[in-house]
Structure 1
Amino acid sequence: MDTQVADTLLGSLIDGRYRIRGRVARGGMATVYTAMDERLERAVAIKIIHSTQGPPGRAGAGNFVDRFTDEAKTIARLTHPNVVAVYDQGTHAGRPYLVMEFVRGRTLRELLTERRRLNPDEALAITEQMLAAVAAAHRAGLVHRDIKPENVLVAEAPSGGPSNLVDSVVKVTDFGLARAVEASTDHDNGNQLMATVAYVAPELVTDGRADARTDVYSAGIVLFEMLTGRVPYEGDRPIDIAWQHVDRDVPAPSTLVPGLPRLLDDLVARATRRDPAARPSDAGALLAEVQVARDGLGTANSQTAMLPSVSDGPAVSQPTMVVAAVRPPERPTWARLPEGGQPTRGRRRAAPSAAGDLGSRLAALGTRLTGGGSGRLGVAAVVVVLGLVAALGGWWFGVGRYTTTPELVSMSKVEAEAQASQSGFTLRYADPRHDDQVPRDGVVAQEPASAARILKGGTITLTLSLGPERFELPDVVGKEFDLAEADLVSAQLEVVKGTARFDDGLPEGVVVATSPEAGKEVRPGDEITVILSKGRAPITVPNLVGKNLNEARAQIAQLGLVLVEPTYKESDKPRDEVLGQSPAVGSGVEKDAQVRLEVSKGPPQVTVPRVIDLPCQQAKQVLESQGFQVTVQFNPNAVTRFQNPNENAQVPPGTQITIGCF
């Protein structure tokens, strides 16, 4: 039994106009309700963005409301029969909302849950309408960023019959909403919105950037799921699934559903290539390929291809599914792009009635020309002229209007622009990328490739180099190895363990240092040596300062340490007294670690002056004035006859001097 939590919005009136009737669905960003527009008396859908309370936490983030309003205006201007229309927007209780067209139908996700997979004709019909909507957005400069079955609505077919998916109306929703949320979270939370990982394009995982080709990739994954009943990649964590899009090619649908036509494998492969430059440039280009494939599928199906039926039940006899051209002769108008924007590559052939009318006119012309003798000459002339026109037309459309693409790769941007201008081509630029061989602003890739056929005056898409990728090595000192390794691997660096060492400040297993050091410039693929702590060393360095050198030497030897030759310096401390030590007192070291001592040379020496032959009292005054201690022997009133130490002797300050007077 399902348990529902009471929704306080049910029955409420928003903006004095929209009466909430029921809740349709709740997602990570918003909740969708059905409502009645009491002013115009029509049913609408209202998408209300979640409040700042709770896990979504988006509506109040930074200037999100302003961004959301701008996006709503952009979407409202996007008028297309396959796009869910936006009627109004506003805020209710501080939460932004959109008022949208109410589509009576189910999501593509619900259809796939019920049927598991669709037959090829149904899958292509839905894909065609889905791409028509996305192509209209791309022409308006808008990228969807979150194409998935949950955002594709399949309405009831106008011809009736819930199972007639070929003739159903497909509507795409949530244009621009992902972009508005992404713009808010980028600035406020430091995060970037990523489309559902099952459908995410590789460049959105690696670079976080999206363009029209990102939508092309997601549409290709949706087509793959409709054909096979599953997404190409699965995993225990979303990040594992996302990186499979980067590291692996999408498998051919026929490897999972034997018997699918080769043209469907090729179509999925073109749309889901990992290199964005190798995909169709936008949804309009992919739409043209889908329409061509759909026409080709109709021709192939005239011979009736047999596929196994879809069943999850026990292995019993099941009816087979016949892939046949079950669509009506002309697709409904809402299933095609407006004529002005429809790609010519996928445009249908002329209707039989028009062809028949042209045949009647040619037959009448033939009758008039063959009515007499001169008519036969006219026929010959017409045949010759028509032959020349056909030949020239065939040459022009097949060869004449085409030329070859010049080689622009490895040129600088300035050189490439000059070359393209000289040859009459227009340039456009794809997102730049790093390259170790091509300097910054050099051409890394071009589409079409060099020497390929291209219309004269056509457009060449160039990818410029950002130069070799360089970035500062992140600081992982103080982190446990697993966390440090994850940080470095995510930066596309190779991690090796160096020789562990003791450290007084960091516990065992924590990173002590890296080589190169944090902050140094590195590039993807560089090898980083990580040095781990072994914890505190087993021997504690004692305090040796103030001790005599011999005493300090004995204590060092007793601990199993090695004393390096001491360094002497002048000091007022007694000679051989320890003034400083390294390692510091209390440091942890291991056995045989070296200890360095700084030892006193004693006070600086002074020269003893000559006082012999001076009166005794005068000699005493001279010596005491220079800081010596004086001892007088014999007669203090006589003349000084000897001194000890002798004159010019080098002695420490304050030395005792003895003088003899008689």
Structure 2
Amino acid sequence: MDTQVADTLLGSLIDGRYRIRGRVARGGMATVYTATDERLERTVAVKIIHSAQGPEGRGFVERFTDEAKTIARLTHPNVVAVYDQGTHAGRPYLVMEYVRGRTLRDVLAERRRLNPDEALAITEQMLAAIAAAHRAGLVHRDVKPENVLVAEAPTGGVANLVDSVVKVADFGLARAVEASAHEEQGNQLMATVAYVAPELVTDGHADPRTDVYSAGIVLFEMLTGRVPYDGDRPVEVAWQHVDRDVPVPSTLVPGLPKALDDLVARATRRDPGARPTDAGALLAEVQVAREDLGNPNTRTAVLRRVADEPAVAQPTMVVAAVQPVERPAWARLPEGGSRAGRRRAAPEADDVWSRLAALRTQVLGHPQGRLAVAAAVVVLGLIAAVGGWWVGVGRYTVAPQLVSLSKAEAEAQATRAGFVLRYADPRHDEQVPKDAVLAQDPVSATRIQKGGTITLTLSLGPERFPVPDVVGKEYELAATDLADAQLKVVKGAARYDDSLPAGVVVATDPKAGTEVKPGDKVTVILSKGKAPISVPNLVGKNLTEARGILARLGLVLVEPPTVKESDKPKDEILGQSPADGTGVEKGAQVRLEVSQGPPLVVVPRVIDLPCPQAQQVLQSQGFPVTVQFDPNGIARFQSPGENSQVPPGTPVTLGCL
């Protein structure tokens, strides 16, 4: 039987002001409640961070407070406003605007995917909110459908997504809790990694282009009904963002316009430098795409392409004209006017000319009117002069010198001067270090419009690559591979090899895998096949015997052989080079290591001892004993004599009388 635990916060009063009325949602980082602000008598949302996300200690609380202050200064109609912050029972909380509606995740769960016009309408408002954050120096870091709220439309309900109000929540909250070591695993983490930018996976770096990537993935999901990657573990999903390009939406939903494919591809490029610089730049591209899709010819073509597509939840309108007049001023989209708006009904041409003629007669027929016209002409002349100066000179400045600066230095200098940077494909250079500016367009000191765009080419540093492994290949194939790698091939002296046939590469200099630069020389050593003579196994043989064996085979012993201490008998072979079985030519040299014999031992004095006792002393030290004359007599002489140094096991003769 399932047991539901009561929420002890329900009905409680926080900070003497906020009465908790109900729980809205619980996520990996926090739980959201509806509450009544009893001071201002309004409904608010209270987000309380889980205790696992808020370590005890002043460090986390101070960091959370700083983030809350930054978010509270962010005012925009598409941003969920933050009213207050504090701590309750040691847990930080935020008091936010209460938005009546659903999350984009709830909408997608119901609809699976959206038609292009709905997806672009939501993306526009979402990017408008994120762009405001970017202008304030704030990066969201966790853009996903769970943080996008679709409020009730001004016309009522949320069925008409084109006319719904979209708000983005949790700005900066991910950074405020990222130090917690107890983040929950599961659906929350899976949702996050589905939208994570490659640079966050590889080096943890986040900037406005990180939010651009996540917004592109959200647009992809709205158009296709799924995220681009999935996997059994979150880490597998995260690394797919690093290793793979996001597929174009039309591969999953045939008939989608190419403009949407291009938009998603631009926003989700793995290289941050190839994406729009921030949410504002992507917003401009979304507005252009939406305006183009609003063209009647384009709309007809799209409708025709999607006629045979699988059905999706209603409504199924593909492209619909936006009706901004129905939206309140606080929720209007950030658009510069559509073609439809510019084509609104105007007075008929004849009516306009007749009104102008009447106005001319009225003005010029009065002295004050003529004076006003003369003043207007002077003002217009000044405006024209100033405008001409601005168009021809005033709006221009000179491009700064960015070549040789690091990428970070160039971006800082361009930002201070108000320029926009774009990046061309980088290239290698032997002199300019990696990530430094190799070239710029326009070049420094060239006239450029204020706030214009400068295209930078970054250096990849000196080009280095490993020598290809060509061992085992025939010379022609090996030479082709090395030449394709921009290396010069030099044929070295061939040598015998027991395993590779003649004409096959046995080695290269430098070896395979060595880092080289284009144009370096690589010496190729070819095999002469198996050598005519195999080196015999000489280990364990006597030096004299080894000399004879080598002489019969026509091999040369390097004299003198190397002598090493060993317990082996003197002149016994301990090692050899080349090893036995190695193929060599006649006259090849063979080096031997021989034993110098075991160390010498001292013969003890046993003279004047009874013969049996003397024999026992010698034998106990490893000397074989031979007794002459009377074995029961007294030892009168010994050979070798006392204190003689002899090899171990040397026989000793005793003379007993």
- Please give the TM-score of this superposition, normalised by the length of structure 1: 0.58
- Equivalent residue in structure 2 for 1:92, among 83, 88, 92: 88
Given that 1:309 and 1:319 are in contact with CA atoms closer than 8 Å, whether structure 2 keeps it comes out as no
Confirm whether residue 122 of structure 1 aligns to residue 118 of structure 2.
Answer: yes
- Higher mean alpha-carbon deviation, 131-140 vs 441-450, is at 441-450
Tell me, what secondary structure is at the counterpart of 1:47? strand
Tell me, what secondary structure is at the counterpart of 1:196? helix
- Equivalent residue in structure 2 for 1:299, among 295, 301, 307: 295
Q: Which deviations, in whole Å up to 9, do the C-alpha atoms of 1:107-128 show, x marking residues without a partner?
A: 0110111111222222222111
Confirm whether residue 72 of structure 1 aligns to residue 45 of structure 2.
Answer: no
- Equivalent residue in structure 1 for 2:452, among 458, 464, 467: 458
Given that 1:197 and 1:241 are in contact with CA atoms closer than 8 Å, whether structure 2 keeps it comes out as yes
Question: CA shift at 1:84, angstroms?
Answer: 0.9
Tell me, what secondary structure is at the counterpart of 1:323? coil
Change (3 A) 1:169 1:457: closer
Question: CA shift at 1:457, angstroms?
Answer: 5.9
Question: CA shift at 1:451, angstroms?
Answer: 14
2:22 matched residue in structure 1: 22
Change (3 A) 1:227 1:88: same
Question: CA shift at 1:294, angstroms?
Answer: 2.5
Which amino acid is 2:152 matched to? E
2:207 matched residue in structure 1: 211
Which amino acid is 2:126 matched to? M
Question: CA shift at 1:469, angstroms?
Answer: 11
Q: Which deviations, in whole Å up to 9, do the C-alpha atoms of 1:49-95 show, x marking residues without a partner?
A: 1223xxxx553488322211111111111111111111121222222
Change (3 A) 1:3 1:435: farther
Tell me, what secondary structure is at the counterpart of 1:45? strand
Confirm whether residue 109 of structure 1 aligns to residue 105 of structure 2.
Answer: yes
Confirm whether residue 241 of structure 1 aligns to residue 204 of structure 2.
Answer: no
1:325 matched residue in structure 2: 321
2:9 matched residue in structure 1: 9
Question: CA shift at 1:29, angstroms?
Answer: 1.3
Given that 1:440 and 1:467 are in contact with CA atoms closer than 8 Å, whether structure 2 keeps it comes out as yes
Question: CA shift at 1:355, angstroms?
Answer: 8.6
Whole-angstrom CA distance in 1 between matches of 2:355 and 2:214: 48
Question: CA shift at 1:4, angstroms?
Answer: 3.5
Written as runs of structure 1 = structure 2, the 5 A alignment for 1:326-475 is 326-329=322-325, 331-336=327-332, 411-412=404-405, 437=429, 438-440=432-434, 442-443=436-437, 455-456=449-450, 458=452, 460=454
Tell me, what secondary structure is at the counterpart of 2:34? strand
Change (3 A) 1:61 1:568: farther
Given that 2:293 and 2:299 are in contact with CA atoms closer than 8 Å, whether structure 1 keeps it comes out as no
Confirm whether residue 282 of structure 1 aligns to residue 282 of structure 2.
Answer: no
Change (3 A) 1:600 1:355: farther
Question: CA shift at 1:463, angstroms?
Answer: 7.4
1:133 matched residue in structure 2: 129
Given that 2:420 and 2:451 are in contact with CA atoms closer than 8 Å, whether structure 1 keeps it comes out as no
Whole-angstrom CA distance in 2 between matches of 1:314 and 1:76: 39
Question: CA shift at 1:253, angstroms?
Answer: 2.6
Change (3 A) 1:9 1:127: same
Written as runs of structure 1 = structure 2, the 5 A alignment for 1:640-659 is none
2:495 matched residue in structure 1: none
Which amino acid is 1:103 matched to? V
Using the aligned pairs only, state the percent identity. 70
Given that 2:150 and 2:158 are in contact with CA atoms closer than 8 Å, whether structure 1 keeps it comes out as no
Confirm whether residue 150 of structure 1 aligns to residue 116 of structure 2.
Answer: no
Whole-angstrom CA distance in 2 between matches of 1:119 and 1:135: 24
1:538 matched residue in structure 2: none
Change (3 A) 1:521 1:343: farther
Given that 1:200 and 1:245 are in contact with CA atoms closer than 8 Å, whether structure 2 keeps it comes out as yes
Given that 1:574 and 1:603 are in contact with CA atoms closer than 8 Å, whether structure 2 keeps it comes out as no
Tell me, what secondary structure is at the counterpart of 2:67? helix
Change (3 A) 1:24 1:243: same
Tell me, what secondary structure is at the counterpart of 1:34? strand
Given that 2:150 and 2:166 are in contact with CA atoms closer than 8 Å, whether structure 1 keeps it comes out as yes
Given that 1:151 and 1:174 are in contact with CA atoms closer than 8 Å, whether structure 2 keeps it comes out as yes
Question: CA shift at 1:287, angstroms?
Answer: 1.7
Q: May I ask how many residue pairs the two structures share in their alignment?
A: 500
Whole-angstrom CA distance in 2 between matches of 1:467 and 1:119: 46
Given that 2:224 and 2:252 are in contact with CA atoms closer than 8 Å, whether structure 1 keeps it comes out as yes
Given that 1:152 and 1:173 are in contact with CA atoms closer than 8 Å, whether structure 2 keeps it comes out as yes
Which amino acid is 2:437 matched to? V
Tell me, what secondary structure is at the counterpart of 1:233? coil
Q: Which deviations, in whole Å up to 9, do the C-alpha atoms of 1:330-374 show, x marking residues without a partner?
A: 65423347xxxx686989966959999998875656768999xxx
Written as runs of structure 1 = structure 2, the 5 A alignment for 1:544-583 is none
Question: CA shift at 1:245, angstroms?
Answer: 2.6
1:50 matched residue in structure 2: 50
Q: Which deviations, in whole Å up to 9, do the C-alpha atoms of 1:561-590 show, x marking residues without a partner?
A: xxxx9987899x9998xxxx99xxxxxxxx
Q: Which deviations, in whole Å up to 9, do the C-alpha atoms of 1:410-436 show, x marking residues without a partner?
A: x4559x97xx99xx97667899x9986
Change (3 A) 1:13 1:284: same
Question: CA shift at 1:252, angstroms?
Answer: 3.0
Q: Which deviations, in whole Å up to 9, do the C-alpha atoms of 1:441-484 show, x marking residues without a partner?
A: 621576889999963563537576695799xxxxxxxxxxxxxx
Whole-angstrom CA distance in 1 between matches of 2:36 and 2:113: 35
Given that 1:29 and 1:58 are in contact with CA atoms closer than 8 Å, whether structure 2 keeps it comes out as no
Given that 2:292 and 2:298 are in contact with CA atoms closer than 8 Å, whether structure 1 keeps it comes out as no
Change (3 A) 1:72 1:320: closer
Which amino acid is 1:299 matched to? N
Question: CA shift at 1:194, angstroms?
Answer: 9.9
Whole-angstrom CA distance in 1 between matches of 2:222 and 2:32: 25
Confirm whether residue 264 of structure 1 aligns to residue 260 of structure 2.
Answer: yes
Q: Which deviations, in whole Å up to 9, do the C-alpha atoms of 1:216-237 show, x marking residues without a partner?
A: 1211221222222222233333
- Please give the TM-score of this superposition, normalised by the length of structure 2: 0.58
Question: CA shift at 1:326, angstroms?
Answer: 5.0
Q: Which deviations, in whole Å up to 9, do the C-alpha atoms of 1:535-574 show, x marking residues without a partner?
A: xxxxxxxxxxxxxx99xxxxxxxxxxxxxx9987899x99
Given that 1:426 and 1:459 are in contact with CA atoms closer than 8 Å, whether structure 2 keeps it comes out as no
Given that 1:46 and 1:100 are in contact with CA atoms closer than 8 Å, whether structure 2 keeps it comes out as yes
Question: CA shift at 1:39, angstroms?
Answer: 2.8
Whole-angstrom CA distance in 2 between matches of 1:347 and 1:139: 28
Given that 2:422 and 2:454 are in contact with CA atoms closer than 8 Å, whether structure 1 keeps it comes out as no
Whole-angstrom CA distance in 2 between matches of 1:602 and 1:48: 85
Please provide the CA RMSD for this pair. 6.1
Whole-angstrom CA distance in 2 between matches of 1:135 and 1:358: 41
- Higher mean alpha-carbon deviation, 120-129 vs 151-160, is at 120-129
Tell me, what secondary structure is at the counterpart of 1:113? helix
Which amino acid is 1:306 matched to? L
What stretches of structure 1 of length at least 5 have no aligned partner? 187-192, 372-381, 471-514, 524-548, 551-564, 583-590, 606-643, 654-662
2:175 matched residue in structure 1: 179
Whole-angstrom CA distance in 2 between matches of 1:254 and 1:450: 42
Given that 1:31 and 1:47 are in contact with CA atoms closer than 8 Å, whether structure 2 keeps it comes out as yes
- Higher mean alpha-carbon deviation, 260-269 vs 196-205, is at 260-269
Whole-angstrom CA distance in 2 between matches of 1:645 and 1:353: 135
Question: CA shift at 1:195, angstroms?
Answer: 7.6
Whole-angstrom CA distance in 2 between matches of 1:363 and 1:254: 56
Change (3 A) 1:333 1:128: farther
Change (3 A) 1:148 1:348: farther
Which amino acid is 2:449 matched to? L
Change (3 A) 1:355 1:222: farther
Question: CA shift at 1:103, angstroms?
Answer: 1.0
Given that 2:212 and 2:276 are in contact with CA atoms closer than 8 Å, whether structure 1 keeps it comes out as yes
Given that 2:253 and 2:309 are in contact with CA atoms closer than 8 Å, whether structure 1 keeps it comes out as no
Change (3 A) 1:459 1:298: closer
Which amino acid is 1:249 matched to? D
Question: CA shift at 1:303, angstroms?
Answer: 5.6
Whole-angstrom CA distance in 1 between matches of 2:437 and 2:94: 43
